[in-house]
Structure 1
């Protein structure tokens, strides 16, 4: 697999558990260019062997999940396996889902009794992650409050990233500006913008950052959603400067310490 070290996308089908899978595990841990991986493991495991295999953290399927979790550069993970994924593998996949670069995780083959392990691990850290845009776990057939909670967060992420993308596309509404400030440095925004602008995505995002850093006080407050046009302050009796007549250079110094989210909406 040395010749695969420059691949960015990989699709693998395996029908047997052999040294090829172990080599694949080693490859996933080592490769730094891989962005998307799709694995289909159609392996027959005798029923009497399944329970013992699932509980063993050193089984090939658990090692595979660990490898997927350890590679922080992968953005899309699709895993379809006939070998049930137990607690150890589920914990690793939950960790993978919260890697900064992962925006899609689709897994078929999670053992039903291990689903709570996956969801507990995932939800313990997913709230602060805005990168995951698609979570597909077909094994969760019954209505499940924990899965609904996870999908609500994913939907939140989709909304935030969509509005941030609109800001890059010159939508200067307050909700879009606040979302861009929230996820402007996240890999998922670069991915979504790249789908629309191609190779110009990085330049477009950099331009949006430059604009937001350099806005005057009036534009900043419009983006924050607290004024419609300009900041207007009542004159002070002592004649001291107010926010609306600060020198631009002084405002830029203050601006470095402010985020849009610091401004409380009326």
Structure 2
């Protein structure tokens, strides 16, 4: 994927386009955003796209530019390209929006269309209505309005019936202010019966004056499970809104510390729809930790946990905070938390060691962020984490702030190498449906991720498969390597079957293992454990 950052880089690349960017047939994505001072290069860009329509993904976001001279060229490009699958445009220029919509109507390849800062006009909303009604190749549609909220309802009414009748859309994102409550009711009451439409994202809801009505309507219509509200509740007064399953996040940064914050955290087990939770822990650490642990024990949907922790006063290096141990143990027991964000200050070196041990043995966390940690704590963390980190196959991203001691570089590299290895497992396994049975690259990844339910969920999401379909594909692909001979043949140890020389002392050999014994061995052995280079060297 190629991104152009800033106008200077963009101009440089476009000036050298014939020798760098555009001759490459492997370029699949281009993202442009920011201020462009040399407007002629936009003409160069569009002309290049028209004569070399190979991009699969193109994005123009918040570009400061007079688009009027290029409206027709962009329309022609969108109308003619047969490679583009994803198109994103952020602009309030009505003429440009109309040109984009007209081009999309003639396009046959776009699968995902995203427009933001949309300005409602009768002509443009009618074009969107036609896209929803006529385009059979677009399963993902996102249109976010920049109109003054709640003043343009009637312009968007023409979208409701096409949305209800459409049987292709899988995901739709709209601004909640686009429709009047009666029109939302018409759509939401049909939503549970639409098999194709899996998710509706309603954004810009924080200023929506009828949020309580909307939550009630979602529950009464039975559409809560299919709707996400981009809404940040205010918990300074009440947690009532968290009963709505369409509200996925709760950030408690503004809640008054002390008894009020503790009371809110103690209510969290009642809200099982939460997927994102942010909590500040700056005082009353033990009681808050126990309340958080109680929620994590019961949480069934939470995937992102953001903790901002501050410990007052000096900490001895070997001191262990008991409340911190409670937090780590509760995170370790969680089967849902995949993204862990920690902003910590005042922690001891022992606390950093305990965190490293917890992360190393966790089989669910895929992303970890450490913020505001001192250099000494970071160094202690990476030194501890690097010991045996290669046994972890789920941690795919680790970001941190605060620096490291100079002699800690090798420990950091060991962790980085592991996360780099792990980050490729899910993309490899996600090719399970397209790859042939003989594709060892994919089968090795599938064999590995099949041991981790969290990774299988991510594979299903990336491959756009439901869990039952993925489970069937995994069983089918791994069937051939379940037996001793099948496994050893797949990894290249033998050509046909395993045959061992009899041991002089009569000990059991590999080919003496019965099916049950081999199945027990396979619980601890995956295809990736046998290094390809070792097998090839042996055969050579």
TM-score of the pair, normalised by structure 1? 0.69
Q: Deviations over 1:97-155 (max 9, x none)?
A: 22111111111133322333322331223111111111112223566221121011100
* 1:40 counterpart (288, 308, 311): 308
Structure 1: how far apart are the matches of 2:460 and 2:427?
Answer: 13
1:88 is aligned to 2:350:
yes
CA RMSD after TM alignment: 4.0
Q: How many residues align?
A: 238
Contact 1:68 1:93 in 2 (8 A): no
Q: Which residue is 1:31 aligned to?
A: 298
Structure 2: how far apart are the matches of 1:209 and 1:60?
Answer: 43
Question: CA 1:168–1:102 in 2, change beyond 3 Å: closer, same or farther?
Answer: farther
SS at structure 1 position matched to 2:379: helix
1:140 is aligned to 2:403:
yes
* 1:151 counterpart (400, 410, 416): 416
Q: Which residue is 1:180 aligned to?
A: 446
Question: CA 1:137–1:204 in 2, change beyond 3 Å: closer, same or farther?
Answer: same
Q: Which residue is 1:247 aligned to?
A: none
Contact 2:430 2:462 in 1 (8 A): no
Deviates more, 1:256-265 or 1:190-199: 256-265
Q: Deviations over 1:6-47 (max 9, x none)?
A: 244232243741367345443355334233211234x584xx
Contact 2:460 2:470 in 1 (8 A): no
Structure 1: how far apart are the matches of 2:358 and 2:374?
Answer: 18
**Alpha-carbon offset, residue 203 of structure 1:** 2.7
Question: CA 1:3–1:134 in 2, change beyond 3 Å: closer, same or farther?
Answer: same
Q: Which residue is 1:193 aligned to?
A: 459
Contact 1:28 1:71 in 2 (8 A): no
Deviates more, 1:125-134 or 1:181-190: 181-190
- Identify the structure with bigger relative contact order (alpha carbons < 8 Å, sequence gap 6+): 1
Q: Which residue is 1:164 aligned to?
A: 429
1:9 is aligned to 2:275:
yes
Structure 2: how far apart are the matches of 1:119 and 1:22?
Answer: 25
Question: CA 1:137–1:62 in 2, change beyond 3 Å: closer, same or farther?
Answer: farther
SS at structure 2 position matched to 1:11: strand
Contact 2:432 2:446 in 1 (8 A): yes
Computing the radius of gyration from Cα coordinates, the structure with the larger value is: 2
SS at structure 2 position matched to 1:146: helix
Question: CA 1:215–1:92 in 2, change beyond 3 Å: closer, same or farther?
Answer: closer
* 1:21 counterpart (288, 296, 320): 288
TM-score of the pair, normalised by structure 2? 0.37
Structure 2: how far apart are the matches of 1:15 and 1:72?
Answer: 23
User: Aligned ranges for residues 95-110 of structure 1 at < 5 Å?
Assistant: 95-98=357-360, 99-110=362-373
Question: CA 1:125–1:96 in 2, change beyond 3 Å: closer, same or farther?
Answer: same
Question: CA 1:212–1:65 in 2, change beyond 3 Å: closer, same or farther?
Answer: closer
SS at structure 2 position matched to 1:39: strand
SS at structure 2 position matched to 1:50: coil
Question: CA 1:208–1:114 in 2, change beyond 3 Å: closer, same or farther?
Answer: same
